[in-house]
Chain A
Amino acid sequence: MKNSHIPFSSKILDTIIHKDLKNPYIPFPSEILEVIKHTEKEYTFRMEFKGKCKPGQFFEVSMPKYGEAPISISGIGKNYVDLTIRKVGRVTDEVFEHYAGQTLLLRGPYGNGFDTDLYADGETVVVAGGTGVSPVRGVIEALSNMPNAKDKYVIAGFKSPSDMLFRDDLKRWADKLNLILTVDGAPEGYEGNIGLVTKYVADLPLRDPANCKAVVVGPPPMMRFTIIELQKKGFKDENITVSYERKMCCGLGKCGHCRVNDKYICLDGPVFNYIEAKEMMD
């Protein structure tokens, strides 16, 4: 085969900093402002970020040479976003080697996120399990600051007392709204609630379940059974919102991994109204 001279296009970037905004795959460096340790496996990384974002959206967190992982936003401040990361994968293991003052590489935010205004009026229930609390932390925070916080209920479930996330927040929220904190199992002598979140849905003292709004986020079986309980209680499908976790390699609607039927979780979700979500099957 004739090997003709091939001129190469040179696009050398001297640093990873966005010089060319057109390539959405180039991550930007973000300083770790603070590391908050919840459990041995779960830390919140407070990352410098000044752009617009909403609770329920996510970032692709990049560790060059290890890969990228989608991590949902667990808190939003003036100059920062919180990313609560669980040490369960190749990328996230590596992220845990980083400390305040160092940087991580991010892309995003991606996805639609929660519209907290939807939950301003009337009664609202948030049911969240495990790391599912992360994407709704911003929603709970908003609820706790609403004048009618007495009408807002949060059921947060964790595997065991040592798996609890956002302990300080949980204490604050308990003072402002109706928080039901439960664990699947606990060592003897534990004084809090023990049992699945579904058990506590049935007991919610709601005035008007037919018009109450619900947000459900957690592992797939927990979501399925929680929705069944909500429906039994008289919740309407259109008042239920869910958020889904899927594998995502791009966050841009290209890689295909997060597709369910005709929906791309990264573009159309991860937050869905249940009317839409109930038609979706993996």
Chain B
Amino acid sequence: MGYVLSNDGFEQVVQALSDKYRLFAPVRKKGMGRFTDIDVIMYDEVNHADEIELAQKSDYSFKEFLTPLSETLFYFTESQCREAELPDKPVLIFLRSCDMHAVRRLDQIYLDNGPEKDWFYLRRRNLVKFALIGCTESFENCFCASMGANKTEDGYEFSVELSDDGVRCDVAEASLEKLFQANALRPETFSPAFVTENKVKVEIPKKVPASILKDPLWDEYTTRCINCGRCNFVCPTCTCYTMQDVFYTDNGKVGERRRVGGSCMVDGYTNVAGGGQYRRTNGERMRFKVLHKIVDYRKRFGYDMCVGCGRCDDVCPEYISYTNIIKKVFDASADENKEVSDK
């Protein structure tokens, strides 16, 4: 059932929800962006409706709750080892359709790649429910429609999007109906807004030739890319992590094992003991990353990894366009795909 709420009504709803859930939502941080006087929108815990940024796309993704940039797994004290604690209050994450689609990608890797489920991901995932932020417009660099991630029909407790009177919400979880009803201006039947067309469009090649691995198209990124890894850290589907043990300088008998966000663009990602390293140039690393998003992941799991949020293009300090790379890969694969369609 759908409802129109005033801003005050929505505040009442958020207040009530925050008793039951820890709420994570995109929050605008004034002046904390990458340049002077530029804001950044990133995920944080909120307790009030007006903290939630509903008008713009977030620069960083929701994944930071499920896969924190740095997460302590164990504490070591002499011969003892203790699993790190996690607050067990349920969590509600506000996110857009592209990110909802990204959840499936995170689940795929952490819960369904190989025989073991990832314990530390699972214990967070089990706490999480979602609130969908409807997209009334497409933002800069979004190409969700091309990736089929523009629309989300289920998996959320309720949706929320800005409207003339405040917000409107589509409530999917029956137990929340009363709360919304009590704080609504009026009921209204509608489906969450979604984007049907983006300015940026890409076509994913169905098949790529083996020669793509050695194609000269990657060469320019060896010099253009500065392997800062920002594209990986903003990507809602990047899941790599690196184990890291630390011990405390004040007491060397005590320490912890963490996992920290990994980036296939950054030095050290493939280093093995003794100095071996696999992808040395940034061009090779770019190939590894891009082909994972649009080719290799699909080969393994049957659908594309990229959800078309465009955050990598938003964040790149060298103005490298990932969508442009996809276009180049598509062009380089023209013959291959022609054969496919001829058959």
Contacts and interface: CB of A to CB of B under 8 A. Distances in A.
Nearest to A85: B273
Interface in B78-95: 79-83, 85-89
A254 B81 contact: no
A257 B269 contact: yes
A267 to B, nearest CB: 5
A252 B79 contact: no
A14 B274 CA distance: 36
A69 B86 contact: no
B113 interface: yes
A264 interface: yes
B245 A259 contact: no
Interface stretch (A73-81, A121-129, A142-150, A243-251): A243-251
List of 5 A-B pairs having minimum Cβ-Cβ separation, nearest first: A253-B114, A256-B240, A89-B273, A262-B299, A65-B255
Contact of B242 (A24, A91, A245, A249): A249
B85 to A, nearest CB: 5
A7 B89 contact: yes
Interface string B261-282: 0101000011111111011000
Contact of B243 (A4, A68, A267): A68
25 contacts: A2-B47, A6-B22, A6-B89, A7-B87, A9-B88, A11-B83, A23-B119, A24-B119, A25-B74, A25-B119, A63-B245, A65-B247, A65-B255, A86-B273, A86-B274, A88-B273, A88-B275, A219-B276, A247-B269, A249-B243, A254-B121, A255-B240, A256-B109, A257-B240, A279-B210
A282 interface: yes
Contacts of B81: 13, 15-16, 26, 64
Nearest to B118: A254
A15 B78 CA distance: 10
Interface residues of A, number: 53
Interface in B284-310: 284, 288, 291-292, 296-297, 299-300
Contacts, number: 150
Interface in B58-97: 73-74, 76, 79-83, 85-89
A11 B119 CA distance: 13
Given A65-B76, A254-B113, A255-B240, A245 B85 contact: no
B273 A11 contact: no
B71 to A, nearest CB: 11
A118 interface: no
A275 to B, nearest CB: 14
A22 interface: yes
B284 A13 contact: no
Given A10-B85, A67-B243, A254-B239, A15 B300 contact: no
A40 to B, nearest CB: 15
A2 B110 CA distance: 32
B18 interface: yes
Interface string A130-145: 0000000000000000
B19 interface: yes
Contacts of A219: 276
B327 interface: no
Contacts of B29: none
Contacts of A86: 273-274
B45 interface: yes
Among A26, A89, A255: residue with most chain B CB under 10 A: A255
Contact of A261 (B73, B79, B299): B299
Interface string B211-224: 00100000000000
